[in-house]
Structure 1
């Protein structure tokens, strides 16, 4: 098993054991199994999945860093939400707001920030199957 600790800027989000950790980095999807060689990698805004207590769990992560060594994974994420906690209406509203900002040709708008907000909202919708 892999001992997995997930930490956000607000503190520890979760600590659990998983038989596999599926994440996405700049190269693509990566499945981490027990006894894998050590790795440090940046995580993209994407879906992360685990098998906890025999159940598949899915999360929307807002990017971050993964450090894996000796069957321990430390995941530092900007944000994380379990699939079951994502509110569809809230994610759709966030997507719409980000699109509105990007469609305005106002130079005072931080386009990079709006693009990231759109990417996070679309990821949340993807995780819940929308």
Structure 2
């Protein structure tokens, strides 16, 4: 059995080390991004593993496959489907990083607050 918190922590560590997140991202944006998508990825992986096990068990019961053969089929199916999921997740993450980068750039350019207004001439210092 895979512990979901351990899986999430492992995915977050890999994301922190390997995702092409630009160095200029603020630390809190980087951490929030990694945390959110590591949690999502862990949920997907665990769900997919359960689903694979259920599908292969159903298939094995109908086809009367031995326990050893069933274990081999489950392991093989898990590896193939997890490889596909990893490839898809990586593509999605690259798109999400690009989108978040554009959002952060827009915030940096446009979200500096209202411009300061100069006091009208002759008003400053008058009582």
Provide TM-score, normalisation by structure 2. 0.21
* Rg larger in structure: 2
* Greater helix share, structure number: 2
* Greater strand share, structure number: 1
Provide TM-score, normalisation by structure 1. 0.21
